[in-house]
Amino acid sequence: MIPLLLLAPLTGVILALLSRTPWQAALGTAVGAACLLSGAVIQGMSPGIAAWGDLLRLDELGSYFLLIVAGVHFLCSVYAYGYFRRELEGGHIGPAKVRMYHVWTNLFVLSMVVVVCSHHLALQWVAVEATTLFSAPLIYLHGDRRGMEAAWKYLLICSVGIAFAFLGIIFLSRAAGDVPLTYTALPLAAKRLDPRFLRLAFLFVLVGYGTKMGLAPMHTWLPDAHSQAPAPASAMLSGVLLNCALLSILRIAPAIPGAYASPLLILFGILSIAVPALLVAVQRDIKRLLAFSSIENMGIIVLGLGFGGAARPAALLHVLNHSVAKVLLFLVAGDLILRFGTQKIRQIHGILRETPLRGVLLFGGILAITGSPPFGAFWSEFGILVGGIAGGHLAVSLAYLVLLAILFGSFLVYGSDMAFGEGVPRKLSGPELWCLLPACVLLLASLWLGLHVPAGLYKTLERVSTVVAFS
């Protein structure tokens, strides 16, 4: 089954290369995405299958992340059809670049599938590096100066981060000795691994993959990259790429002493929430605003993992809640940018009056991403708070609560400014259904996760959270 999962995006690459029109390329991507999603659902029913000499393996944790990757990829492939048709009609992009978007997107997804399926940590490192190389052209897709600067910044900073992660893998290999560098073998041998090299390994891996994850203070590439990429690419960068970096950290967690790892995670987590809380209020670009929200939410997840205990499954649930809400917001933002002809927040007004459905999607997405009831992120953020208090982290939990309140207020102001007031959106003739349908699905999904967290899902996350617990 795992080779078939890899074949789905690879098929999308081949079809995009052979296509003669952007619509043929879009169809190839959509078919590959549908096959990947179907395979991920089937694979999720029978985790633990290995392939290629045990280099690849999908456990419950990997299946969970794979479902998120596949689901986001499918919805973005549907959205991309309508989005790029409008871009072509407006003369913002050419047919050749649209075809190349589909080529690079499928390669990007292929590399993320390898990250999720990797059993050997060295192979996973190679796949994480591949995600950088395959996603950089998406940031520079429009070919302007700002896109080039953002792409180079992304490549340079993330490559330095990946180099740190590589050093961490080397230290981990030194600590492991003759123990295979697989996420199943290392926890079994944790008691006899050299603790000095283990600590060094975790520090370098956390800084390295944390850079790719967008944790502060290594986050500086993220706002530029997410603001310059096309909307469906921005959605995938935020909604699934950051998760892949997180998974790479989780894979070595069971071999690391909790007394050493937890304070580091709490430090990076609270810092990654504090930086956006300070900077969100001065943002003027809607996509940069959403990028800082991604930094915040990665911080929330890492903080929950650092708290441990009951906060750990809540942090894993927040991975899903963030992906759903953030992809929704990036898709809506892309549609609004095309309609208003700008990314500047101050020039986007009157959405509820002019286009009520988009107003509901935008405001609902803002409530979802800020953890407001009745959306899913409320329960995961609340679970992390409860876990922090139960674990005795009272001061950090209070700081977490205050920072979330600041961020909620800032986003509420931005959302109100854009939803109300006078606005003059462009009249576009493109196929709006293809842009609006994925966003509607995501809003309903976030609402469903808030009104009813599936018992089977949470039990799975509780079970998985014990697997990724520190030693």
pLDDT value at residue 89: 87
- Separation of alpha carbons 373 and 148, rounded Å: 40
The HSE-up count of residue 171 (CA atoms within 13 Å, CB side) is 21
pLDDT digits (tens, 9 = 90+) for 201-242: 999 999 999 999 999 999 999 999 999 999 999 999 999 999
- pLDDT reading at 470 higher than 90: no
Domain ranges of the chain: 257-471
pLDDT value at residue 93: 92
Token pair listed for 277: 């809380």
> What is the value of pTM for the model shown?
0.96
- pLDDT reading at 44 higher than 80: no
Cβ within 8 Å of residue 147, ≥6 positions away: 139, 140, 141, 228
Token pair listed for 388: 């922090």
Token pair listed for 214: 């967008």
pLDDT digits (tens, 9 = 90+) for 420-463: 877 666 555 555 789 999 999 999 999 999 998 888 888 999 99
- Separation of alpha carbons 324 and 333, rounded Å: 14
pLDDT value at residue 54: 78
CB atoms within 10 A of CB 53: 8
- By DSSP bridging, strand 49-51 and strand 56-58 are antiparallel
pLDDT value at residue 43: 82
Q: If we measure between CA atoms, which residue out of 367, 391, 401, 372 comes closest to residue 273?
A: 401
pLDDT value at residue 229: 97
Higher pLDDT pick, 161 / 143? 161
pLDDT digits (tens, 9 = 90+) for 20-33: 999 999 999 999 99
- Separation of alpha carbons 82 and 73, rounded Å: 15
Q: What's the whole-number mean pLDDT along residues 154-168? A: 97
Per-residue confidence at 189, pLDDT binned at 50, 70, 90? Answer: confident
Q: What's the whole-number mean pLDDT along residues 396-422? A: 93
Q: What's the whole-number mean pLDDT along residues 281-289? A: 95
